[in-house]
Chains A and B, each alone.
Chain A
């Protein structure tokens, strides 16, 4: 008999199933659930992108590409960085086209984290960082951001957690789930702390196109930071291309050359059809992105206002497509709130603690839905709260 317990490595055994997964299973079993729970756009991928994919398929362009990605795409990405954050990255040495931002996060961590290394993870945040760090033998060290600080990371909070084992800071802004963004001055303060250390920043900027108000700013733009920052971005959120599995990373060649080797051996190259399509995206579809942003912005105001009116205090987010209202006034835990809500009113939202302990007391609500859908969901949440308070 095979002893499976001996087969699986401890790091995998110890990986907790994502908090989202458990809740998903509950929601899935109920009928007629309306959801505010997804982390992907409701828009279709712009037609020009889909059309380009179809055309290259028709022509049979379905072989591997170069390991880094198609040169034309790499050039476009390089231009994109210059255009958006004003930083030059060498298309041939400093950029890799990856299988989503997800792969970029994974291979960057694998290239830089060794057993015992501490990795600072700003929380609440996307679910994959800590498990990937642990898999590499690293020690995830959460840094909780606070609603009083608009969920931004402060220099003091950062300083407190730095030790001589700190290897990496994962900086995910615009943030999923809070919708927080870091302004230039906030980033400068962080840069100041890191400048004289050997700590590298993994800056997950996958929502960089989706900001409402000021334009997105990258920590790589701060003085002395380009040489110690890996920027992660991708097509999933900005171009509504989640299923195409395409992202990219950029950084100083001294780091990227080693990350590249992992990509080369583990992945070979990112999906070819998606790469051709993405070229069309960067070349012709930036205005489609703008239209989506305008639409998200209207919904954002609508939802923030809705929650505040319901008495669930809601921080006004400046990026991504989530709001993160506090449910502390109900006295319920995030999990209980979400479970009761989905059982009684069939509305699915995600418990805030799925994004780290500091998310307790909050729920994540996605507004990647039509206004009519949002309206119905808010109405049901209102009914839920009325019934709850009158019990």
Chain B
């Protein structure tokens, strides 16, 4: 299972036949394993890692540090769920350290994002403060180097 998950993490487009060969099993077993992983919610989805700069250089992304007052019943969960439900939010994680939630948001421009912070985030009960950090350039994401091709320093042929 772990080996299968690791392979899919690096390339979710490997076919079941290819995965079966690499893991020394058959396609049916792979299909069943993947189904189980999906059913159990271990695999939540598959996505492409896109170099946005090449698609639409207007797009902006921000990581917003949010401090909140934990609720007496639900702790951070209720607020985190509310934030996660907004469609502008790409990711929302609970952090240790000087702030509580890290919220990734992207929009068409800076204004989009500041509006989101001012109108949606700041208005949630329990949100104490926010600090918005804009992403300037992505070099690597999900283990994949984005900024330029990784070059192979090795020669073409060696004994």
Contacts and interface: CB of A to CB of B under 8 A. Distances in A.
Interface in A14-45: 18, 20, 23-24, 27-28, 33, 35, 37-40, 42
A301 B3 CA distance: 14
B145 to A, nearest CB: 12
Interface string B133-159: 000000000000000000010111111
A70 interface: no
B156 A33 contact: yes
B157 A302 contact: no
Contacts of B155: 24, 38
A27 B155 CA distance: 10
Given A298-B22, A301-B22, A20 B11 contact: no
A305 interface: yes
Interface string A109-152: 00000000000000000111000000000000000000000000
B157 A126 contact: no
A33 B157 CA distance: 11
A23 B157 contact: yes
Interface in B99-123: none
Contact of B154 (A42, A301, A375): A42
A40 B10 CA distance: 22
A371 B9 CA distance: 13
A299 B22 contact: yes
Contacts of B22: 298-299, 301-302, 371
Contacts of A18: 159
A350 interface: yes
Contact of A20 (B24, B154, B158): B158
Contacts, number: 57
Contact of B3 (A28, A40, A294, A299): A294
A307 B155 CA distance: 24
Contacts of B21: 301-302, 305
A298 B155 CA distance: 24
A347 to B, nearest CB: 10
Given A299-B22, A301-B21, A302-B21, A372 B11 contact: yes
Nearest to B23: A298
Interface residues of A, number: 29
The B interface is mostly helix, strand or loop, or mixed, namely loop
A348 interface: yes
B138 to A, nearest CB: 20
Given A42-B152, A299-B22, A305-B21, A27 B157 contact: yes
Interface in A333-355: 348, 350, 354
Contact of A127 (B3, B7, B24, B159): B159
A236 to B, nearest CB: 11
B94 interface: no
Q: Which of B14, B23, B156, B159 has the most CB of A within 10 A?
A: B159
Contacts of A28: 156
B11 A301 contact: no
B18 interface: yes
A20 B7 CA distance: 33
A348 B156 contact: yes
A33 B156 CA distance: 8
Nearest to B14: A371
A39 B158 contact: yes
Contact of A37 (B7, B11, B23, B156): B156
A302 B159 contact: no
Contacts of A354: 159
Given A298-B22, A298-B23, A350 B14 contact: no
A-B CB proximity, top 6 nearest: A37-B157, A298-B22, A24-B157, A35-B156, A305-B21, A27-B156
Given A20-B158, A298-B7, A305-B21, 14 more contacts: A27-B157, A35-B156, A38-B156, A42-B154, A126-B159, A176-B159, A298-B22, A298-B23, A301-B21, A301-B23, A302-B22, A348-B156, A371-B10, A371-B14
Interface of B: 3, 7, 10-11, 14, 18, 21-24, 152, 154-159
8 contacts: A20-B159, A35-B156, A35-B157, A38-B154, A38-B156, A301-B21, A302-B21, A375-B18
